[in-house]
Structure 1
Amino acid sequence: MFFSLLLLFGLFYHSHSGNKNLPVTGKRDGNLTLLCEIEDKQILHVELFSESGTIDVCQTEGCSERVSKTAACDVLIKNLSFSDAGKHTLRVYYSNNQTSVAQNKERIYQIHIYDEITVKTGKPIKLHVLMSNAHKVEKNSSEGWKKVWERGHGLWSDRMNVSDGDLIIKAFTDNDAGTYRVLDAEDETLITVNITESDTKLKEKLDKDEDKTNHTEEHGIWIWPVVVCSLILVLIGIGFFISRWHRNRNVSQDSVQERSVVLEKLNPNPKCD
């Protein structure tokens, strides 16, 4: 009896765990590949479905369509947008070697799209995140996640507007900076947007520092020749002074010798006391 219950539990767990959504993440405007990871080699066809309907998938190799099949049954999505967020079902049709009847397998993915935005203070910002499957928008704060919008309730802040699927911040301030996430009705994360303030003050400081550096370099270009010329003039002055001193010294010695000769001529036989 225990073994039978254990077997039933194992079958139940296996059947449900196989249907668990596979989380995948991609950056807005980037690419994302949904890996099917099916070992069957006889892949005939793949189909992709979102919550809003069927998505056209190019089935040929090397096609330029935004959504295309790659490898055996993987699906590549190019140029991701926020509208790609949410549940996607990949259905793979393959041929069993033992029968000519086509069979299929499914995999369900939970696609999460993230983006990073830099905004100048005082400027409005539009976040096109209020998709049909969006249930609420939250902002991260020191006190945890706080609601800023909820379907059926509306906005939680008078500094925001909603228009045509856009969540609009009227005039951005540093208090608006942070991480915003969009959740579906099952609290699965659809979109994450990290908003930072454009650091214009830092840019101005860097520009000033660069100007100072350039000015210092320009100042150094002309100050070194002045220093060298000054040093040369000092050395010339010292050399002139030493030369003048030696010349005066030689003149003095010649004068002493001349005086001695004159005295000797005037008094050729000096008397000793």
Structure 2
Amino acid sequence: MILLLLLLLLCFISYSGSSTKPVSGIKGGIVTLSCGSEDREIVAISLFSVWKHIPVCEERNCSGRVCKEGSCDVIINDLIYSDAGKYFLYVYYSNDQRELERQIREYHLHIHDEISVKKGEQLKLDVVLINADKVERNSRSGWTELWRRGHGVRGHGVSSDRLTVSDQTLIIHEFTVTDTGTYRALDSNNEALITVTVTESVLDSKGNLSDTEHRPVDYWILPVGLTVGLLVLITILIYRRLHRDYLKRESTEFRDQKTVGV
């Protein structure tokens, strides 16, 4: 009987789809899946990923990670890598004829992160998600494929004996400065799921950045220093030239005065 009622209910539900909306957030941060619905009488909402239904807390003071805000917006708190991917928000509302309608909003969530690794340690990236098709690293020659589903570890750009995959983690052993850069995991549609910027961490015994740390300022100190030095040198040469001309002029005037006096 319940199944029959559900089937009858679905007969009165009309479907309206929309294109995928890209959204992005930082790991540990917050992202909003905005439904953008007009001022209608919202009856219910449901959130799904490709794999499962995701419960949404609709209470005023939610303690969960996924909460409803306003009429139908959904907030995801404390973002983690596995949150990346496709989402479908079902919004049920009553139209002017008091008929139940359904709209579906589709989202693609992209997670960003930044990590720092000491030389010689392991670089661990939990980016081999169930919906990830490949992992790439941005190098001087462009994006280099490190792993692809069904092909295992390729290790292009990284020595294969230093690159392994365990569960959902891509591991680069004995991290070096050449392993720094941007890593990303992409799905089967070549859409970015996770992007991680990896830098080298160089700390002294007190935990502070040492003089060997490659800071961005290092890249402009040299050209600025050379420019300032060149300007100082030109100023000194001009001063010397003017001073020499002044002394020569004074000497000439003195001799002329002496000659006239004689």
- What TM-score, normalized to structure 1? 0.66
* Alignment match, 2:242: none
CA distance in 2, matches of 1:151, 1:37: 36
Corresponding residue number in structure 1 for 2:220: none
Q: Which one of the candidate residues 120, 127, 143 is aligned to 1:122?
A: 120
Structure 2 residues without counterparts, runs of 5 or longer: 1-14, 213-262
Deviations 1:42-99 (Å, cap 9, x if unpaired)?
A: 1111111001110010122221111011011000000111111111001111112322
Name the aligned partner's letter for residue 134 of structure 1: A
In structure 2, the partner of 1:174 is 177
Moved more, 196-205 or 73-82: 196-205
In the alignment, the residues of structure 2 paired with residue 88 and residue 130 of structure 1 have an alpha-carbon distance, to the nearest angstrom, of: 19
In the TM superposition, 1:246-261 aligns within 5 A as none
**Where is the helix percentage greater, Structure 1 or Structure 2?**
1
Q: Deviations over 1:167-217 (max 9, x none)?
A: 0111110011000010000101110000000133782339xxxxxxxxxxx
Letter in 2 for 1:40: D
Q: Aligned letter for 2:169?
A: D
> 1:224-243 residue pairs with structure 2 within 5 A?
none
Partner of 1:111: 109
- 1:203 is matched with 209
Partner of 1:72: 71
Contact 1:23–1:109 (8 Å) recurs in 2:
yes
Count of equivalent residues: 190
Unaligned stretches of 5+ in structure 1?
1-14, 207-273
Measure, in 2, the Cα distance between the counterparts of 1:150 and 1:90: 30
| Largest Rg, 1 or 2 | 1
Matched letter for residue 167 of structure 2: D
1:32 and 2:31 equivalent?
A: yes
The aligned residue for residue 97 of structure 2 is 98
Match of 2:54 in 1: 55
Cα drift, residue 104 of structure 1 = 1.1
Q: What is the distance in 1 between the residues matched to 2:79 and 2:45?
A: 20
Query: What's the TM-score, normalizing by structure 2?
Result: 0.69
What is the CA RMSD across the aligned residues, in angstroms?
1.9
Deviation of residue 121 (structure 1)? 0.4
